[in-house]
Structure 1
Amino acid sequence: MTDSDPRDDLRRYLQIAREALVWKLDGLSEYDLRRPMTTTGTNLLGLVKHMIGVELGYFGDTFGRKFPEPLPWYDAMDDDPGIDFWASEDESRDDLVGLYRRVWAFADETIESTPLDAVGEVPWWPPERRRTTLHRVLVHVIAEINRHAGHADIVRELIDGAIGLRADASNLPDLGADTWAQYREKLERVARAAGPAQP
């Protein structure tokens, strides 16, 4: 087993999660990208828009760096705290994905130029935890983007049935629609046998 640089490992897992999230948008209409698929309105393009702000906050503000482009929705967050979880009619997939890729480059500059043990301050964290290291911020952001990539997995499956980890590897058994339907029916029978549904 070879030794690896922890920064390289963290960067690799961050990039895998970024690409998984953005890949979930492929092949969908502007409507489907914005469709609220849960009671709380979770939608694919909104998840990408949210991560733009997350990465800018953690890899920019936390370490005293300013992104050179304005984010117009930031000014409206006091009036609509969820504005970063949905895209307006004027914010296209290409606009937001392009912006997110520029944010990746900005964040990667912070990651490359800052020691892992460098201390930054996360202004929205509780005062006793605000001062933290780049290493901890990287772990936090990787966890957050993977959480949202998981949301995107489910939302995409609800929209058109598309599943998988990435375009070249689904990370799921290749069962076919009929077998998946039988599998789902089996799980439904098991759930009903375990106890009644919640009223």
Structure 2
Amino acid sequence: MTDDLKHHLKNYLQSSREALLWKLDGLDEYDLRRPLTPTGTNLLGLVKHCASTDVEYFGTCFDRPFPDPPAWFPLIESVPNIEMWATPDETTDAITGLYRRVWDHSNATIDALDLDTEGHVPWWDGQTVTLGRILIHMTAETNRHAGHADIVRETIDGTAGLNRRNSNLPPADQYDWPAHHAQVEQAARTAAGK
């Protein structure tokens, strides 16, 4: 039963990782990098951030350091938000390639350890955790950022959906999205007395 649970947890995490990368498909360098919220949220930065958290939680916490980390990894604690955006000299291929290498490293940790294997999270005051808890935490974390990416991507070009295989939305040619938007806007205005 434990192996089945670990398999399912790993699959949910991988699905959210792939959904996040899918949000980058077909965009130019500007759209991948441009900040679309007041806090600077951008698609490539979300991928870079998720790479760093994956490394920390599945590597550092279980004493399985990631080989050949990028130069910015050690600066995360001292340079605020360094992992939340891509510098002009960081290529999209380098960042997405890093994320895929991180998956391999993290998946090796997941495969090698039992769900009840203990690790320590230094930034949680050294709290002892299990691999199972970290799998749950990282699935929630990655899904949260995949959701951010979904909204950012929709803002850029209208592309939305759950993942490459299943948009989880009615097709645009079968649903009147502008009419739906207008209906929601009118409901908001009515509720606000406008």
TM-score by length of 1: 0.92
Aligned partner of 1:89 in structure 2 is 88
Aligned partner of 1:181 in structure 2 is 178
| Consecutive unaligned residues in structure 2, runs of 5 or more | none
Aligned partner of 2:189 in structure 1 is 192
| CA–CA distance in structure 2, aligned partners of residues 42 and 67 of structure 1 | 26
| Percentage of pairs with the same residue | 51
Deviations 1:7-49 (A, max 9, x none): 1100110110000000100000011000100011100000000
SS in structure 1 of the partner of residue 57 of structure 2: helix
Aligned partner of 1:50 in structure 2 is 49
Deviations 1:112-162 (A, max 9, x none): 0011001100000135xx101000000000000000000000000000111
Aligned partner of 1:133 in structure 2 is 130
Q: Are 1:23 and 2:18 counterparts?
A: no
Task: Report how many residues are paired.
Answer: 194
Aligned partner of 1:116 in structure 2 is 115
| CA–CA distance in structure 2, aligned partners of residues 191 and 3 of structure 1 | 47
SS in structure 1 of the partner of residue 87 of structure 2: coil
| CA–CA distance in structure 1, aligned partners of residues 163 and 76 of structure 2 | 32
What letter matches 1:193 in structure 2? T
Runs of 4 or more above 6 Å deviation:
none
CA apart distance, 1:176? 3.5
CA apart distance, 1:4? 7.2
| CA–CA distance in structure 2, aligned partners of residues 105 and 78 of structure 1 | 24
CA apart distance, 1:178? 7.7
TM alignment of 1:39-78, pairs within 5 A: 39-78=38-77
Q: Are 1:156 and 2:147 counterparts?
A: no
